[in-house]
């Protein structure tokens, strides 16, 4: 049982008895409204640990995290328990204003009727200046009879019903809030997971791309090295073949040149022998060699003056003609 609801019910009873204007609970006594005494008894029975002066209780509503602070104070002079910090709903007030329907067993007991108070003359003070014969004030009217068990049961039902409604409402609000928060957390988790997955995929793709590029580069380098090595080997083989071919051709040329030289030398010697055999060699001495030397010397010494050498020239011509005539005569 919630003390806040009990306090609300106490105030509802006061409203029902006192009218629409909400009374001050400090001014209500259990002798004025009998239900107040019954409520106080219920409070004392169930929440006697809260009825100390100045005690404040913090009550949790259902399974929610919201709390409601209720303050209970006791006035020993008026014998009244005051509940502060309680707000009464319209539904509770309307239910409390409904007519009382007691239920005991099979035959309901009729509710005690409250008779209206008779008109009472105003009370005069003890020392009336008008005279000593003033009549005494009549006794106050008796309070209406109230079934305490039925009222307690009804209060308990109202309190439990109100608590159930409040708990259901709070539970519904909590469930709604939990659903929204769960959806938000789920969406956030999904977004975070997607972002993380995307980041991981991008990182893996980047690493795989880099690794593939490295592998391709290494493979290309290895293939290029193999290709260059193969080309170099082929070129070396080709050069070796060409070197062997040129050496062979050079040997052939040298051999052919040697043969040609031998043949030419033999032919030359053979031709020389044949020429020597056909033609005899004759020794010829120069004719008029002294005069020839003198005339050549004169020409060198008298360049441009050939007339100075005319005598020697005439002698040289005579000598030559004489030699010719001698050859003709001898037949040689």
pLDDT in tens, 263-292: 999 999 888 888 887 776 656 677 788 888
Confidence of residue 253 (pLDDT cuts 50, 70, 90): very high
Q: Parallel, antiparallel, or unpaired for β 55-60 and 80-84? A: unpaired
Domain ranges in the chain are 283-331
Say whether pLDDT at 241 is over 90: yes
- Measured over the CA atoms of residue 38, residue 41, residue 45 and residue 47, the dihedral's sign is positive
Cβ count within 10 A of residue 33: 21
Strand (E) positions, 46-88?
55-60, 67-75, 80-84
CB contact burial 193-232 (16+ within 10 A = b; e otherwise): eeeeeeeeeeeeeeeeeeeeeeeeeeeeeeeeeeeeeeee
Q: Report the pLDDT value the prediction gives residue 112, as an integer from 0 to 100.
A: 42
The H-or-E segment that residue 140 falls in is none
281/249: higher pLDDT: 249
315/10: higher pLDDT: 315
Q: Report the pLDDT value the prediction gives residue 257, as an integer from 0 to 100.
A: 92
Q: Report the pLDDT value the prediction gives residue 147, as an integer from 0 to 100.
A: 75
Q: Report the pLDDT value the prediction gives residue 172, as an integer from 0 to 100.
A: 92
Give whole-number Cα distances, 138 to 123, 124, 268, in Å: 9, 11, 194
pLDDT digits (tens, 9 = 90+) for 150-171: 888 888 888 888 889 999 999 9
Worst-scoring range by mean pLDDT, 13-27, 192-206, 298-312?
A: 13-27
- Measured over the CA atoms of residue 245, residue 246, residue 248 and residue 249, the dihedral's sign is positive
CB half-sphere exposure, 46, CA atoms < 13 A: 16
* Sequential DSSP letters for 5-33: HHHHHHHHHHHHHH-SSPPPGGG--TTT-
87/289: higher pLDDT: 289
* Sequential DSSP letters for 245-307: HHHHHHHHHHHHHHHHHHHHHHHHHHHHHHHHHHS-----PPTTHHHHHHHHHHHHHTTT-GG
- Residues 292-314 have a mean pLDDT of 84
Q: Report the pLDDT value the prediction gives residue 323, as an integer from 0 to 100.
A: 85
Q: Report the pLDDT value the prediction gives residue 152, as an integer from 0 to 100.
A: 85
Q: Report the pLDDT value the prediction gives residue 104, as an integer from 0 to 100.
A: 42
pTM over 0.95: no
Q: Report the pLDDT value the prediction gives residue 65, as an integer from 0 to 100.
A: 44
Percent of the chain clearing pLDDT 90 (strictly above): 23
296/95: higher pLDDT: 296
Confidence of residue 329 (pLDDT cuts 50, 70, 90): confident
pLDDT digits (tens, 9 = 90+) for 22-40: 444 444 444 444 444 555 5
Q: Report the pLDDT value the prediction gives residue 10, as an integer from 0 to 100.
A: 52
Q: If we measure between CA atoms, which residue out of 258, 259, 256 comes closest to residue 248?
A: 256
Q: If we measure between CA atoms, which residue out of 73, 68, 62, 74 comes closest to residue 86?
A: 68
CB 155 within 8 A of CB 39: yes
Mean pLDDT of the chain: 70
Q: Report the pLDDT value the prediction gives residue 127, as an integer from 0 to 100.
A: 42
Say whether pLDDT at 72 is over 80: no
Say whether pLDDT at 186 is over 60: yes
């Amino acid at each position: 049982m919630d003390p806040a609801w009990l306090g609300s019910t106490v105030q509802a009873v006061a409203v029902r008895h006192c009218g629409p204007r909400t009374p001050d609970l400090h001014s209500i006594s259990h002798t004025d409204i009998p239900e107040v005494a019954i409520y106080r008894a219920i409070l004392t029975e169930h929440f006697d640990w809260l009825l100390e002066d100045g005690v404040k209780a913090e009550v949790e509503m259902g399974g929610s995290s919201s709390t409601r602070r209720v303050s209970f104070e006791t006035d020993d002079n008026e014998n009244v328990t005051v509940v502060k910090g309680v707000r009464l709903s319209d539904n509770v007030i309307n239910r409390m204003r409904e007519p009382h329907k007691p239920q005991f067993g099979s035959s309901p007991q009729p509710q005690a009727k409250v008779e209206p108070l008779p008109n009472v003359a105003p009370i005069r003070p003890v020392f009336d200046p008008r005279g000593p014969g003033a009549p005494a004030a009549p006794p106050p009217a008796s309070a209406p009879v109230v079934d305490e068990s039925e009222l307690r049961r009804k209060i308990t039902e109202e309190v439990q019903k109100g608590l159930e409604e409040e708990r259901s409402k709070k539970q519904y609000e909590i469930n709604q809030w939990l659903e929204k928060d769960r959806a938000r957390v789920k969406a956030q988790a999904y977004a975070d997971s997607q972002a993380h997955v995307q980041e991981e995929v991008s990182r893996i793709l980047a690493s795989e791309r880099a690794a593939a590029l490295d592998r391709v580069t290494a493979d290309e380098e290895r293939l290029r090295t193999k290709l260059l090595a193969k080309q170099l080997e082929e070129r070396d083989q080709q050069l070796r073949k060409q070197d062997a071919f040129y050496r062979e051709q050079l040997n052939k040329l040298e051999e052919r040149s040697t043969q040609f030289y031998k043949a030419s030398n033999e032919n030359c010697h053979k031709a020389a022998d044949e020429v020597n055999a056909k033609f005899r060699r004759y020794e010829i001495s120069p004719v008029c060699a002294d005069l020839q030397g003198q005339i050549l010397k004169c020409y060198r010494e008298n360049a441009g003056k050939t007339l100075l050498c005319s005598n020697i020239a005439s002698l040289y011509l005579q000598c030559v003609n004489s030699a010719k005539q001698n050859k003709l005569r001898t037949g040689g």
